[in-house]
């Protein structure tokens, strides 16, 4: 069964272009030109990934992202016509996993979609297959890798695939400092990172909020200024 991709963009030319390229990769496409139309389908269809434009009529992409993330954990890629950090930060803070600025190269978008789906399938219980159970435990934190579950002091944490991946990498490398660039490449496995890219920073902040961790006195994720992040042994 092919993966189901949701596309929401009020620019018909853009939405149609994305549909063509992803259809050629054998994805099943659900395309809408407004969030209002898409919401009805979201409530009745389980998707594998969503691509959302930020500037949508009536209901914007940020609101749609928030509505999706309140119920589902599948990856969300935000499209923005503005090369502004505030749009990227807002999208990531609301639970988006990635963003891409218009105009974009269709093949780059396809590559990012595939990268997000690889991680989602790896950690989503519905795609877990018959892998052996693997659990990471640290100071009240329990990560069940085969079922993509994360518990903190027996309280379930609802993490996006990106957040789960970051936390897993830090736990698997306890005691070692991991740079933002290294985290980025381990997760996305491509080369569009730059020093001004604050994607990892935003996801780390979101993780801390969910874990009730603080920057000043962290119990789990410690920032090593100018170097990266680590979880102590």
Residues 209-231: pLDDT tens digits? Answer: 999 998 888 889 999 988 999 99
Q: Is 186:168 a contact under the CB 8 Å cutoff?
A: no
Residue with tokens 């890219």: 197
pLDDT of amino acid 23: 95
pLDDT of amino acid 93: 73
| Segments in the chain below pLDDT 50 | 128-133
Q: Angle at the Cα of 132 (from 126 to 133), degrees rounded to 5?
A: 80
- Render 81-128 in DSSP notation, one character per residue: SS--HHHHHHHHHTT--EEEESS--HHHHHHHHHHHHHHHHHH-GGG-
pTM of the model: 0.61
**What whole-number distance in Å separates Cα of residue 78 and Cα of residue 51?**
6
pLDDT of amino acid 88: 64
């Amino acid at each position: 069964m092919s993966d189901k991709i949701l596309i929401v963009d009020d620019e018909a030319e853009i939405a149609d272009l994305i549909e063509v390229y992803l259809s050629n990769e054998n994805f099943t496409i659900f395309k809408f030109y407004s969030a209002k139309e898409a919401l009805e389908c979201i409530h009745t269809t389980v998707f594998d990934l969503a691509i959302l434009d930020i500037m949508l009529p009536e209901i914007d992409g940020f609101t749609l992202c928030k509505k999706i993330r309140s119920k589902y954990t599948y990856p969300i890629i935000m499209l923005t016509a503005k090369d502004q950090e505030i749009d990227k930060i807002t999208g990531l803070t609301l639970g988006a996993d990635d963003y891409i600025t218009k105009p974009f190269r269709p093949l780059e978008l396809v590559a990012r979609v595939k990268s997000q789906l690889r991680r989602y399938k790896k950690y989503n219980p519905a795609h877990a297959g018959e892998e052996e159970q693997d659990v990471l435990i640290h100071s009240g934190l329990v990560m069940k890798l085969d079922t993509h579950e994360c518990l903190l002091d027996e309280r379930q944490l609802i993490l996006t695939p990106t957040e789960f991946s970051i936390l897993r990498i830090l736990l698997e490398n306890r005691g070692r400092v991991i740079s933002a660039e290294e985290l980025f490449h381990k997760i996305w496995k491509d080369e569009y990172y730059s020093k001004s890219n604050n994607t990892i920073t935003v996801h780390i902040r979101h993780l801390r909020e969910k874990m009730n961790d603080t920057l000043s006195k962290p119990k789990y994720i410690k920032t090593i200024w100018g170097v990266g992040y680590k979880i102590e042994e």
